[in-house]
Amino acid sequence: MKRSILLLLILLGSYFQNFSQTRKTNFGFEIGTLQGVSNNKFTNQFNAVRVKLSGYRMTNTKYGFGISIGTDAYQRSNYSFDFYNTLPFNLNGIYFFKPSQKGFFTNVHIGYAVKLFDNFEKGFNSGINLGYGFGIGGKTRLNIKTGYNYQSIHNGKFSNSAYNDLKLHSIPLTVGLSF
């Protein structure tokens, strides 16, 4: 019995040693726009800009999980006073179609925008993207992405109930670097 437990511990230690050698930590920065922002309250569209920082750890050569923080700034078309800023914290999953982590990839995110400051709004957010990564030297990649983004805004900054509980749907178009 003791030999079996010792053998199991050696095998598990060997597995986790190999596992940790294949994991890689990646960081990224992206900037872009959220196109076609539709909502559940108004007939006219919103325009939006996104800036995001992310980090993820590869669990093998194709899959990774991580976190991100960013800011999305929404403004209703033709209404300069009607804008919403969000600060979403997300959990992310990423899948690379090639082990080289260049070429096509897809990622998903789910999280919550927190109200840290008076000019930021809170609410649930999620999304899924398809992207392409170009190798530009060493581990650095230039990434382009598009997909679907959802952001709810609870109890917005205006007291009028028409402005509360917005549900914003958009198509993100972003470019970024990862290393």
pLDDT in tens, 7-57: 544 544 544 444 433 348 899 999 999 988 888 776 667 889 999 999 999
Average pLDDT over every residue of 52-71: 94
Domain 23-178 top-level CATH class: mainly beta
- Tell me the two tokens of residue 6: 């010792």
Q: Are 163 and 83 in contact (CB under 8 A)?
A: no
Q: How many CB atoms lie within 10 A of CB 128?
A: 14
d(CA 155, CA 169): 18
Domain ranges of the chain: 23-178
What local confidence, expressed as pLDDT, does residue 41 receive?
A: 73
CB burial of residue 138 (10 Å; 0-12, 13-18, 19+): exposed
Would you place residue 118 in the very low, low, confident or very high pLDDT band (cuts 50, 70, 90)?
A: confident
What local confidence, expressed as pLDDT, does residue 92 receive?
A: 96
- Tell me the two tokens of residue 137: 């030297």
d(CA 112, CA 44): 25
Average pLDDT over every residue of 75-92: 83
